[in-house]
Amino acid sequence: MAERLVKPMPDRDTVAYWQALADGKLVVTHCHDCGHWTWPPRPICSGCHGDNLALDEVKGTGEVYSWIVVHRSTTPDMMQYVPYCLALVRLDEQADIYIPGRLISDKEVHRGMRVRVVPERITDHLGDLAWTTEDVPA
């Protein structure tokens, strides 16, 4: 379990998302009417504006769309990683869904770099994620 001073603050729309990460899974709001994926979790589909939604598990793979290198941490928890890469990852499930997270890799980052999610347990009910280039399924 990771020690964190600054933690995500779940609300009614995100509590199951943070719980899933604590349980080692990445889930994304999925519309069961039109099939659209929406992130971050919310009660209305961004594709059809319907509400027939569920948090469904995704493969947890994607590619780096953009990134920055953080040289000054804004939170004490992240100071141990400085400098680190904060990547915006486009999920394989849908071309317009992006999830940010710290990139764990010893390779030079580039657009299109294949990554997979690394769920991180903060508490029994709260998780976070990072991305890695190691052992990415084809």
Q: H-type helices in the chain, by residue range?
A: 15-22
Phi, psi of 21 (to 5 degrees): -65, -40
The C-alpha atoms of residue 3 and residue 9 are separated, in whole angstroms, by 15
43 interacts with Zn ion by CB under 5 A: no
Strands (E), the chain: 27-31, 37-38, 53-57, 61-70, 84-91, 98-104, 114-123, 126-132
Of 2 and 48, CB closest to Zn ion: 48
Rule CB under 5 A: is residue 48 a binding residue for Zn ion?
Answer: yes
Stretch that binds Zn ion, among 17-25, 36-44, 109-117, 120-128 (CB under 5 A): 36-44
Question: Which part of the chain contacts Zn ion (CB under 5 A), choosing from 7-15, 32-40, 101-109, 129-137?
Answer: 32-40
Distance CA(7)–CA(117), nearest Å, equals 19
Which range, of 18-26, 30-38, 94-102, 130-138, touches Zn ion by CB under 5 A? 30-38
Instruction: Decide if residue 116 touches Zn ion (CB under 5 A).
Output: no
Task: Enumerate binding residues for Zn ion (CB under 5 A).
Answer: 31, 33-34, 36, 45, 47-48, 50
